[in-house]
Structure 1
Amino acid sequence: MSNLIDIQSQIEKLQKQANEIKAKEFHSTVQEILVKMQAFGITVKDLQTTKPSKGPKQKSKEAAPKAAKKDKKAGASVAAKYRGPNGETWSGRGLTPKWLSALIAQGQPKESFAIAPQDGTTASSAS
């Protein structure tokens, strides 16, 4: 039965062996990679992309607009429609925040916390 000290000793011994093998094979592995990069026309810039591609780069006229459309939607901020007495704000989207729910439960109308729009329209017409 092995104890912790024996296992740690084995780990250290195996780690040394792994480092030796890595050192021996490093140069040949780099050469293999360079040969494949040259054969496929891969550049260092291709390797630095955030998404791995499944094949050669193909320029698609459809791909760019779809990506741009997703970027516009993702993380788009919406102007606040309601402001609480302590400066809290809510866009009117999603669940009603606790501060506003509590005030409504006290009998205050939600519209009394509406922020006047900057564009000249009325708060009641924008729902």
Structure 2
Amino acid sequence: MTYLWVALGAAIGAPLRYLTDRFVTVRVESRFPVGTLVVNVAGSLILGLLAGAGLAGDDPWQLVVGTGFCGALTTYSTFAWETVRLAASGGRLLAAANAVGSLVVGTGAATAGFLVMDAVVR
């Protein structure tokens, strides 16, 4: 049954990731991979909210939202590929900004989500 919960979340997260990336990319003309940053930060925030609510492990909400939805919404492989592509095409400063910025903003979003939900649940 566990895999069904994960598959349900992924079936929603994967198309939303694609649509969000396209939506952002069409509206923000930049060499910087803004669409990937948006989905990764959103996924980090959602995971932080789940963790702050104390949902972990085999809880159905953790499986649907955390593992399935956020796992399909966020993307490390695209982030890595876009960072390497930026560096290889002469955008080393943009590549460094993407790598460091994604880590800092994503971790900040997860922390904020955790703290907010932890305060609400207490």
- Give the TM interval when normalised to the shorter protein: under 0.3
- Higher helix fraction: Structure 1 or Structure 2? 2
Instruction: Between the two structures, name the one with larger relative contact order (CA 8 Å, sep ≥ 6).
Output: 2
TM-score (norm 1): 0.21
Rg larger for: 1
TM-score normalized by structure 2?
Answer: 0.22
